[in-house]
């Protein structure tokens, strides 16, 4: 599911990995049955490598981490959130290109 630089976020590690992160965090809300999520997955993994050390990148399976998905009112997937200091800076619903996601990431740097 996740590449070398991609973290698997869960209800249990959300606070420590995302809310308390010193780095901005890109979160891909996804599910294994979601076709568009499969298209976004490789882009997210590529960005994780490109921005290693600058932005933390991870994926959250909405079927397995329902508490976080509900808290952030994730109603459609894929949804990409960019958080910094525990606050949402940007949200994108639906599949996007690498360039679309890079524009989101640049806002946090």
**Annotation says 105 is catalytic:** no
**Annotation says 34 is catalytic:** yes
Range 35-43 contact pairs with CB under 8 angstroms and sequence separation of 24 or more: 36/77, 36/78, 36/94, 36/95, 37/77, 37/78, 37/95, 39/95, 40/78, 40/80, 40/95, 40/96, 43/96, 43/97, 43/98, 43/101
Q: Name the catalytic one among 7, 26, 34, 81.
A: 34
Q: Name the catalytic one among 7, 26, 37, 60.
A: 37
Active site residues: 34, 37
């Amino acid at each position: 599911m996740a590449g070398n630089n991609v973290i698997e976020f869960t209800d249990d590690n959300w606070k420590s990995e995302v809310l308390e992160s010193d780095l901005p965090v890109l979160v891909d809300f996804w599910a294994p049955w979601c076709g568009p999520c499969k298209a976004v997955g490789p882009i997210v993994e590529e960005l994780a490598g490109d921005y290693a050390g600058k932005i933390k990148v991870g994926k959250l399976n909405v079927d397995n981490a329902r508490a976080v998905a509900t808290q952030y009112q994730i109603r459609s997937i894929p949804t990409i959130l960019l958080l910094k200091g525990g606050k949402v800076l940007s949200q994108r619903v639906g599949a996007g290109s690498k360039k679309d996601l890079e524009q989101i990431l640049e806002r946090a740097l």
